Copies of this chain bind each other. A is one copy, B any other.
Amino acid sequence: MALEHAILVSLLEKPGSGYELARRFERSIGYFWTASHQQIYRVLGRMEADGRLVVREVEQQGRPDKKEYSVAGPGRGALADWLHKPIEPESLRHDLAVKIRGAAFDDPAALIREVERHRRAHRDRLAHYLAGEARDFTGPEAPAPPDAGQELQHVVLRGGIAYERMTIAWLDDVLDTLHRLAGRAPGPAA
């Protein structure tokens, strides 16, 4: 159900169309929640029908009209209810870890390329987060003093940065392990 709440938070930060939300889910909100445009349009339709959102048709020049959504009273209430209700601490879903354990029944060396690819992706994501942090929070252009919303956005971004740094360090550990195993026995085991 958290997609609904993520959309409410994003629209409270700034109203926008389904398309714009989809873009945000590739960027800032996407640091901790992902959603495709198909999902977003469906949920927006439902939330508008439920009275949590209001739409405004916006005519544009040189591009298609868009529907700008913003949060209505009941939407704000639904978000407040959810914020006050405890949630379960997350459990991870990590495909790559499944692959690493699966490598025991295949060739561990064959995984090295894949792990390196993931390491590059995480390194790029870290660079992207750090650039965003400098632009919005720590650089000379950043607003001083920051308001509560900016402080909270920043602490979430610091979480993303910590996650990427941790992941890169772990992938280095994985690569070391795979190289050691590849040196030891160069074929499929088991």
Contact = CB atoms under 8 A, between A and B. Distances in A.
A102 B90 contact: no
Q: Which residue, of A79, A96, A189, has the highest number of chain B Cβ atoms within 10 A?
A: A96
Contacts of A91: 30, 34
Interface of A: 2, 5-6, 8-9, 12-13, 29-34, 76, 79-80, 82-84, 86-87, 89-106, 108, 110-111, 114, 117-118, 121-122, 125, 147-149, 151-156, 158-160, 162-163, 165-166, 169-170, 173-174, 177, 180-181, 184-185, 189-190
A185 B145 CA distance: 14
* Oligomer copy total: 2
Contacts of A104: 12-13, 148-149, 152-153
